[in-house]
Amino acid sequence: MNKVISLSSDFGVMNKGIAVMEAVALSICPDAKIFNMSHGIPFFEISQGARVLEAVAYLPVGCHVMVVDPGVGTERKGIVIETERGDYLIGPDNGILLPATNFLGGFKRAFELANEKYYRKPVSPVFHGRDVFTPAAAYLCAGVKVEEFGPELREKDLVKAPYPEAKIEGNKIVAQIIDVNNFGSPFLNVRQEEMHKLFKVGDVIKAEVSGKKFDLPYKRTYGEVKVGNVLLVDDDFGRVEVAVNMGFFTDKFKVKVGDKVVLEK
Amino acid sequence: MNKVISLSSDFGVMNKGIAVMEAVALSICPDAKIFNMSHGIPFFEISQGARVLEAVAYLPVGCHVMVVDPGVGTERKGIVIETERGDYLIGPDNGILLPATNFLGGFKRAFELANEKYYRKPVSPVFHGRDVFTPAAAYLCAGVKVEEFGPELREKDLVKAPYPEAKIEGNKIVAQIIDVNNFGSPFLNVRQEEMHKLFKVGDVIKAEVSGKKFDLPYKRTYGEVKVGNVLLVDDDFGRVEVAVNMGFFTDKFKVKVGDKVVLEK
Amino acid sequence: MNKVISLSSDFGVMNKGIAVMEAVALSICPDAKIFNMSHGIPFFEISQGARVLEAVAYLPVGCHVMVVDPGVGTERKGIVIETERGDYLIGPDNGILLPATNFLGGFKRAFELANEKYYRKPVSPVFHGRDVFTPAAAYLCAGVKVEEFGPELREKDLVKAPYPEAKIEGNKIVAQIIDVNNFGSPFLNVRQEEMHKLFKVGDVIKAEVSGKKFDLPYKRTYGEVKVGNVLLVDDDFGRVEVAVNMGFFTDKFKVKVGDKVVLEK
């Protein structure tokens, strides 16, 4: 397999823990190639972390570590999920790993990270990213079989994903905001394949956000509406994005992660 | 040639797109050495992005990608500029690549990135950094000739640079602020070679900023004036910097990128 | 020795100087492995920088560069400290390198970086990180002996550390806040070994902070007290941390780096 490890977290910008996780990985698997996916996930935000992990679909098949872990040190499990594409997703059992499986061919199987043989010791009760998750990724890269980490877990026994995949219901898609970028543009839990079954670029969608109804042109890119106007576009990572050309959607509409957005034909 | 790629953008801190660009580069040229130059350029700021790119003069000769791209998805061209030093500067045709050529031996020739053979597909209309610019850098590293990317462009047909090089006019240099650092210190479009033709360290310059005239000591380093006092120094990347010792110049003078600064002997 | 270099600074997020330091290091020692430890140290904060450098104990033995350097360009010395573990700590003589020696087996010897042969030229008076410190690290990796950099310095002649190691005094530890993380939790200059001589997990400590006295439960992890309650835990890098479960200690108590904290049995 590829000796590829990606690391993501809510540690914040250039936290010293990131370099330490890299060093732990390389001490176990010296020829691993490490990508830092994002360490700017907002503190404890499961939905936004899940959205970041979806983007590993654009990385090589590998071992992808996600450390947004409000339950660290409690009884929550550490887990590894194998995907049909061949990736291993590694992190806490809080739902954050599941949405990415939809971009990686689907969920194959999961195991608990219970085997202390593959922990870095002593295990800090506040930093499983360094002591449990990153070592698991590195041991997988080094050839350890996923079955060796602990008991297999059934998908239905895992903590649920922070958001489902939005589906067409009649002439509507009832969606949810799963992330907001630095430019104030929300992303929806709508995959482009699903979107394209009901709508096409050029349509004007009847949208409802926070009880406000308005026309939402479905465009190819921002500049196709006037400055300050709203639009919907296919985003750059397989979902759809609502935005204001040269402005901030979240300033115009007071919305946040988790809010409902209805798209009607 | 060196298999060196640098990446810069206004994506913000540890945006997931950075790792994805790295992965795209390595999928095309697995033995490339990648430097992340800066991803903290203020959103859409051409002048500050151009200033960042000047610093590739301190990196090995290589392929330098710059993604500050307000026109992405419109008709603006993607381009590659070859420098006399042997670098390739890759990004949108919005002027951002040109100032760096002055630090890299000068402009040699330019080509449009028109050949779709060298795009990553599908091409997102909002992320040419991943799908057009980074692949171009990686294909150049992998041995593709620059002529293969598309038609040659004349320098005079490119969008103009966000700032010219300030030149001596009699006993003055009429300069422009091109960047402000985290410490509130502005940088001017004055190269040290040009500065040294008119002034020398130890001089007291007659300065004019925003209509205010004041004496500006030209020093070697900050500590050579009292805390809170203004000074001008040679900066660490080949230009000159105005600053307040242990303070913020931009708090003292309400200036911003693009403002005029006159330096008189 | 390991060809490992770590870089830390107060340059801020993805400053272009970081990539330039990496390039300088690799130009001198092409097969060095570089870790970016942290570049988010608050501007000029010696105490917080010293705390970051302590974490190189979790990296391989190597050459660790620290650039928090308010005195750059003045007469302050550049130094390299050899530790008993075999590391070299490189940076300005302002005390910032010393606390880490306590985590690396202790101080062995120190030298001034006086030999201009090992400088990058021209030396910028404002960027010794690039022109003096990083080259020293890279030359050490490349096999240059530490004695070649300049005259040996005695520990007692170096600028003092920004904080001492807190020691037990009777039934108390009189400690000092040395860092505060993104979550508002202060870290104390108390090593876990010292803490465990007087207290054990499960104790309720009599604490005094800024003149306020209160009970401080010593727990294994945050979730063991109610949301909003204070606690003390062993941190993830060998010291102790005071925190509020799911809250910000620094909001509840108006404390800052340098403030005194008394822990009484």
List all chains that touch chain C, counting a touch as 3 or more CB pairs closer than 8 Å: A, B
CA distance B37 to chain C (A): 5
Mutation for testing the C interface, residue in B4, B13, B38 having most C CBs under 10 Å:
B38
Burial of C159 (0-12, 13-18, 19+ CB in 10 A): middle
B35/C24 CB distance under 8 A = no
pLDDT band at C1, cuts 50/70/90? low
B14/A55 CB distance under 8 A = no
pLDDT band at A132, cuts 50/70/90? very high
- Considering only CB atoms, which chain A residues are within 8 Å of C8? 16
Query: By a Cβ cutoff of 8 Å, what residues of chain B touch chain A?
Result: 11-20, 22-24, 26-27, 43, 70-74, 124-127, 130
- For residue B251, give both structure tokens: 């708090």
Separation between Cα atoms, residue C202 and residue C182, nearest integer Å: 26
Q: Is residue A116 part of a domain?
A: yes
Mutation for testing the B interface, residue in C13, C16, C36, C94 having most B CBs under 10 Å:
C16
Last residue of a domain, one of A107, A127, A157: A157
pLDDT exceeds 80 at position B59: yes
pLDDT band at B210, cuts 50/70/90? confident
Same domain, B142 and B74: yes
Q: For residue C246, is it left (φ>0), alpha (ψ between -120 and 50) or beta?
A: left
Same domain, B182 and B121: no
Separation between Cα atoms, residue A78 and residue A63, nearest integer Å: 15
Separation between Cα atoms, residue A251 and residue B2, nearest integer Å: 46
- Considering only CB atoms, which chain C residues are within 8 Å of B235? 124, 126
Last residue of a domain, one of A128, A157, A186: A157
Same domain, A151 and A174: no
Q: What is the CA radius of gyration of chain A?
A: 20
**CA triplet A151, A23, C78: central angle to 5 degrees?**
160
- Considering only CB atoms, which chain A residues are within 8 Å of B29? none
Mutation for testing the B interface, residue in C9, C10, C14 having most B CBs under 10 Å:
C14
B126/A235 CB distance under 8 A = yes
The whole-number average pLDDT for the span C239-256 is: 94
Tracing tokens 């606690």 back to the chain, one arrives at C231
Share of chain C above pLDDT 70, in %: 100
Separation between Cα atoms, residue A46 and residue A68, nearest integer Å: 7
CA distance C123 to chain B (A): 9
Separation between Cα atoms, residue C36 and residue C15, nearest integer Å: 12
Q: Is residue C162 part of a domain?
A: no
For B11, name the nearest residue in chain C, comparing CA atoms only.
Answer: C14
Q: List, for residues B24-49, the tens digit of each pLDDT value.
A: 999 999 999 999 999 999 989 999 99
C12/B233 CB distance under 8 A = no
- Considering only CB atoms, which chain B residues are within 8 Å of C130? 58, 236
Mutation for testing the C interface, residue in B51, B68, B236, B244 having most C CBs under 10 Å:
B236
Which residue stretches of chain C are H helix?
16-28, 46-54, 98-101, 128, 134-141, 192-198, 249-252
pLDDT exceeds 90 at position C132: yes
pLDDT band at A71, cuts 50/70/90? confident
pTM (predicted TM-score): 0.94
- For residue C135, give both structure tokens: 């080259």
Same domain, C24 and C151: yes
- Considering only CB atoms, which chain C residues are within 8 Å of A127? 236
Chain CA centroid to CA C112, Å: 20
Chain CA centroid to CA C77, Å: 19
Between chain A and chain B, the number of residue pairs with CB atoms below 8 A apart is 67
Separation between Cα atoms, residue C171 and residue C189, nearest integer Å: 17
CATH code, A141: 3.40.50.10790
Same domain, A32 and A126: yes
Last residue of a domain, one of A98, A123, A157: A157
SS (H, E, C) chain A: CCCEEEEEECCCCCCHHHHHHHHHHHHHCCCCEEEEEECCCCCCCHHHHHHHHHHHHHCCCCEEEEECCCCCCCCCCEEEEEECCCCEEEEECCCCCHHHHCCCCCEEEEEECCCHHHCCCCCCCCCHHHHHHHHHHHHHHCCCCHHHHCCEECHHHCCCCCCCCCCEECCEEEEEEEEECCCCCEEEEEEHHHHHHHCCCCCEEEEEECCEEEEEEEECCHHHCCCCCEEEEECCCCEEEEEECCECHHHHCCCCCCCEEEEEC
Query: By a Cβ cutoff of 8 Å, what residues of chain A touch chain B?
Result: 6, 8, 13-14, 33, 35-40, 52, 55, 58-60, 182-183, 220-223, 233-237, 246
Option in A35, A39, A221 nearest B22 (CB): A35
Determine the straight-line distance between the first and last CA of chain A, rounded to whole angstroms.
45
Burial of C200 (0-12, 13-18, 19+ CB in 10 A): exposed
CATH code, B258: 2.40.30.90
A23/C60 CB distance under 8 A = yes
C-alpha dist (Å) from residue A18 to A70, B223, C36, C100: 18, 34, 9, 18
pLDDT band at A126, cuts 50/70/90? confident
Helix (H, G, I), strand (E, B) or coil at C124: coil
Same domain, B44 and B128: yes
Same domain, C135 and C199: no
Please check whether residue C45 is in contact with residue C66, taking contact to mean a CB–CB distance below 8 angstroms. no
The whole-number average pLDDT for the span B238-246 is: 95
Q: Which of B112, B179, B185, B99 is nearest to B149 (CA)?
A: B112
Q: What is the CA radius of gyration of chain B?
A: 20
A40/B12 CB distance under 8 A = yes
- Considering only CB atoms, which chain A residues are within 8 Å of B26? 33
Give the DSSP letter of residue C93: S
B126/A38 CB distance under 8 A = no
Q: Is residue C259 part of a domain?
A: yes
Q: List, for residues A106-120, the tens digit of each pLDDT value.
A: 999 999 999 999 999
Q: List, for residues B94-142, the tens digit of each pLDDT value.
A: 999 999 999 999 999 999 999 999 999 999 988 999 999 999 999 999 9
- Considering only CB atoms, which chain A residues are within 8 Å of C38? 14-16, 19
pLDDT exceeds 90 at position B204: yes
HSE-CB at B253 with a 13 A cutoff on CA atoms is: 27
pLDDT band at C256, cuts 50/70/90? very high
Q: Is residue B50 part of a domain?
A: yes
Please check whether residue B216 is in contact with residue B201, taking contact to mean a CB–CB distance below 8 angstroms. no
C221/A125 CB distance under 8 A = yes
The whole-number average pLDDT for the span A195-206 is: 98
Q: Is residue A97 part of a domain?
A: yes
pLDDT exceeds 90 at position A200: yes
pLDDT band at A72, cuts 50/70/90? confident
- For residue C83, give both structure tokens: 């530790």
- Considering only CB atoms, which chain B residues are within 8 Å of C12? 40, 182
Q: Is residue A162 part of a domain?
A: no
C-alpha dist (Å) from residue C133 to C6, C11, C262: 11, 15, 38
The overall average pLDDT reported for chain A is 95
pLDDT exceeds 70 at position B83: yes
Option in A17, A20, A74 nearest C223 (CB): A74
Q: Which residues pair with C72 in a beta bridge?
A: none
pLDDT band at C223, cuts 50/70/90? confident
C-alpha dist (Å) from residue B208 to B47, B213, B242, B265: 21, 4, 12, 12
Share of chain B above pLDDT 70, in %: 100
Please check whether residue A201 is in contact with residue A220, taking contact to mean a CB–CB distance below 8 angstroms. yes
The whole-number average pLDDT for the span A130-140 is: 98
Given this model, what pLDDT does residue B71 score?
A: 86
Query: By a Cβ cutoff of 8 Å, what residues of chain A touch chain C?
Result: 11-20, 22-24, 26-27, 43, 70-74, 124-127, 130
Please check whether residue B24 is in contact with residue B135, taking contact to mean a CB–CB distance below 8 angstroms. yes
- Considering only CB atoms, which chain C residues are within 8 Å of B246? 70
Please check whether residue C81 is in contact with residue C107, taking contact to mean a CB–CB distance below 8 angstroms. yes
- For residue C30, give both structure tokens: 């092409």
Same domain, A192 and A252: yes
pLDDT band at B73, cuts 50/70/90? confident
Please check whether residue B245 is in contact with residue B178, taking contact to mean a CB–CB distance below 8 angstroms. no
Same domain, C35 and C133: yes
Same domain, B54 and B152: yes
Neighbours of C151 (CB within 10 A): 11
Q: List, for residues A228-254, the tens digit of each pLDDT value.
A: 999 999 999 999 999 999 899 999 999
State residue A118 phi and psi, 5-degree precision: -105, 20
Q: Is residue B77 part of a domain?
A: yes
Please check whether residue B72 is in contact with residue A221, taking contact to mean a CB–CB distance below 8 angstroms. yes
Q: List, for residues C25-80, the tens digit of each pLDDT value.
A: 999 999 999 999 999 999 899 999 999 999 999 999 999 999 999 888 788 999 99
CA distance B19 to chain C (A): 14
- For residue B105, give both structure tokens: 């031996």
Q: Is residue A61 part of a domain?
A: yes
Please check whether residue C247 is in contact with residue C222, taking contact to mean a CB–CB distance below 8 angstroms. no
Domain extent, residue A240, equals: 168-264
B17/A52 CB distance under 8 A = no
Count of domains observed in chain A: 2
Higher pLDDT, A35 or A222: A35
Same domain, B127 and B247: no
List all chains that touch chain A, counting a touch as 3 or more CB pairs closer than 8 Å: B, C
Same domain, C18 and C145: yes
